[in-house]
Amino acid sequence: MKNLRRAFDFLLGAAIVAVSLTACAPRLMATGDAVYPPRLVARSGVEMASAVMSDGAHLPMRVWAAEKPHAVVIGVHGMNDYSNAFAMPGSWFAAHGVTLVAYDQRGFGEAPGHGLWAGAARMASDLDTIVELTHKKYPGVPVYLLGTSMGGAVTMRAFNSATPPKVDGVILASPAVWGWRAMNAFYETVLWMSAHLLPSLTLSGSGLGIQPSDNIPMLRALGKDPLVIKETEIGTIYGLVELMDEAALSASHINVPVLLMYGAHDQIVPPVPMGQALEDMRNAHVDVTAACYPKGYHMLLRDLDREVVWRDIESWIDAKGKPPPSGAENLAPCPTLAHAGEL
């Protein structure tokens, strides 16, 4: 019996090695080298229709313009979403003197490579380019980044580079910081094997019982929006986890004031890595203001209580360092933020 078990273990090990050697790598989007000077492209009736990256890729843009903006906010959308994610806050901010600019990241919305992963470095580089173009478009106007979920991770990752974005501040709304170091070892192994053995396998979040927001009509509209990705390739999920890991490790590299926002009912990003990110920022002496929303879910900017979040963002932009008017500086409903230094 022992000999039979040894033979089985040997064959299983040999099979794993053989599969590993012949495994496919996760599919990545093909991107080009820097050839063109980045620029904004207009379209009839639209002042800023797209941003052209250095490799010629056109990233569609949406702009909610204030008449005389005293600040510009660049919206960086979340996973499987696109620039339209900022339509709700965009109109509100424009009415309050803040222009909101959002763009479709590669692989999402109407940008090139729909459904494919561009890689954390490329996505961060694109964001840096968008910042440069925005400064040229709005000279002398303070520029802020507003990253939601995956967009928050891209924003954080951009600061861990030789050329971090030159902005006046960063707003992180439920940033995706659940990387490898916070993942169960079993899930990590399954994800790695799936991404390398079945890179084109697609998964959906249906049936998981996860509620990303309490705004049900908004969620139903997303379900009908053809530009919102409903099934994600396993290779893209693998890339997302790598991005989230790099974002978590980048928390201490942010060199501008930060507004970190989290919902007490967030079922997407676990509370422990969020608290760890806050702790890392504080340990690195990042000027961070943490805010917890007792009624908030993952999609803070589009939840039913969204205007409370919008007002806090506007107030923070106008007077960084002052407590949020909503009272969200009371972190008690989000225990891992309240006890970040004790993790």
pLDDT in tens, 247-288: 999 999 999 999 999 999 999 999 999 999 999 999 999 999
Report pLDDT digits (tens) over 173-215. 999 997 656 555 545 555 555 555 556 656 566 556 789 999 9
User: Residue 99 pairs with which residues in a beta bridge?
Assistant: 72
- Tokens at 143, concatenated: 């520029």
Question: Which residue type sits at 102?
Answer: A
**Closest to 133 (Cα-Cα) out of 239, 249, 41, 222:** 41
- Tokens at 329, concatenated: 């500086």
Maximum Cα interatomic distance, the chain, rounded to a whole number of Å: 81
**Alpha carbon 272 to chain centroid, angstroms:** 18
Distance CA 73, CA 86 (A): 11
Which segments of 53-141 are extended strands (E)?
58-64, 71-76, 98-103
pLDDT of residue 159: 97
Whole-model pTM? 0.87
pLDDT of residue 196: 54
Residue 178 phi/psi, 5-degree rounding, is -95, 80
pLDDT of residue 197: 55
Distance CA 332, CA 328 (A): 9
| 306 against 19, higher pLDDT | 306
Distance CA 260, CA 98 (A): 19
pLDDT of residue 278: 97
Asked if the model's pLDDT at residue 99 lies above 80, the reply is yes
pLDDT of residue 7: 41
pLDDT of residue 16: 40
Query: How many angstroms separate the Cα of 316 from the Cα of each of 11, 29, 170, 288?
Result: 61, 37, 10, 11
pLDDT of residue 19: 40
Least confident range from 10-14, 124-128, 234-238: namely 10-14
Distance CA 59, CA 16 (A): 41
Asked if the model's pLDDT at residue 316 lies above 50, the reply is yes
Percentage of residues in the chain with pLDDT exceeding 70? 80
Residue 316 phi/psi, 5-degree rounding, is -65, -40
**Closest to 258 (Cα-Cα) out of 142, 155, 123:** 155
Contact 138, 100 (CB under 8 A): no
pLDDT band at 12 (very low <50, low <70, confident <90, very high): very low
Which structural domains are found in the chain, ordered by start? 2-342 (3.40.50.1820)
